[in-house]
């Protein structure tokens, strides 16, 4: 995408970037399913697909003439993290499932967890690159507020689509709410800190725990997701004014 195209149609550019990310990531998942691969080789195939997506994203970044620092590959802006307040809600989000499930949810072989950790790290990097690096930067040419709202909507809509495969209506609604609020929270963090790294780390940790406990879905899971949605809502409200008025 050229700089001229992005300037004239930032929303379309953001959607295209998000769809590229989603498509390239889905290719690996589809290939693993078609080949009926076991857990470890399946994660390795999906990891390779996501790495390809990252390379394409970096190429798009260069073609768009957006510097790596402008995209968020930098340390958090000076003064943006004066306290640990930012980190407390993020930690709480992941402590909730750990407390709810305990060690019983983690019963896979060590090799599977090692490969899963690699996969979730590259997924975190990939999604933050596209949604909060590319899409956010495109929309920020209009305004910071449009960048926060627009990028979070694109992220939420694409992730909410996955939740529609669920069979429990309450589960579907909670997953959609989580996707939208997580996108908003991550966009606000980038707007305030000018950095992707906090989001990348949280994204990787959250995905790792989610994939680790995905086979355990019951009433406990509904309580866990409900609590996480509430934390995200409070966090997003707390960040809103600062994140949308940042210069």
pLDDT digits over 45-65, tens only? 999 999 999 999 999 999 888
The domain in which residue 118 lies consists of 3-245
Rounded Cα gap, residues 244 and 247, in angstroms: 9
Low-confidence ranges of the chain (pLDDT < 70): 78-86, 105, 161-169, 214-218, 246-247
Per-residue pLDDT at 78? 66
Q: Rounded to the nearest 5 degrees, what angle is found at the Cα of 187, between the Cα atoms of 194 and 172?
A: 160
Long-range contacts of 34-37 (CB under 8 A, 24+ apart): none
* Extended strands (E) in 143-227: none
Closest CA to 18 of 161, 119, 115: 161
Per-residue pLDDT at 247? 59
Per-residue pLDDT at 83? 47
Q: What's the domain count of the chain? A: 1
pTM above 0.85, yes or no: yes
């Amino acid at each position: 995408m050229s700089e001229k195209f992005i300037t004239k149609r930032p929303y379309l550019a953001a959607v295209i970037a998000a769809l590229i990310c989603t498509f390239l990531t889905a290719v690996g998942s589809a290939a693993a399913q078609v080949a009926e691969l076991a857990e470890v080789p399946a994660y390795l195939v999906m990891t390779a697909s996501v790495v390809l997506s990252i390379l394409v994203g970096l190429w798009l970044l260069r073609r768009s003439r957006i510097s790596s620092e402008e995209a968020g590959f930098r340390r958090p802006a000076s003064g943006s993290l004066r306290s640990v307040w930012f980190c407390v809600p993020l930690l709480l989000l992941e402590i909730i499932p750990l407390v709810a499930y305990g060690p019983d949810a983690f019963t896979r072989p060590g090799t599977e967890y090692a490969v899963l950790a690699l996969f979730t790290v590259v997924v975190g990097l990939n999604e933050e690159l596209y949604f909060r690096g590319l899409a956010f930067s495109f929309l920020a040419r209009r305004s910071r507020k449009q960048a926060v709202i627009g990028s979070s909507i694109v992220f939420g809509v694409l992730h909410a689509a996955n939740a529609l495969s669920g069979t429990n209506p309450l589960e579907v609604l909670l997953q959609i709410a989580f996707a939208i609020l997580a996108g908003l929270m991550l966009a606000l963090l980038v707007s305030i800190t000018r950095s992707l790294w906090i989001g990348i780390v949280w994204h990787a940790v959250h995905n790792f725990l989610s994939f680790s406990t995905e086979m355990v879905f019951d009433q406990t899971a509904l309580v866990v997701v409900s609590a996480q949605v509430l934390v995200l809502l409070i966090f997003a409200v707390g960040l809103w004014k600062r994140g949308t008025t940042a210069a």
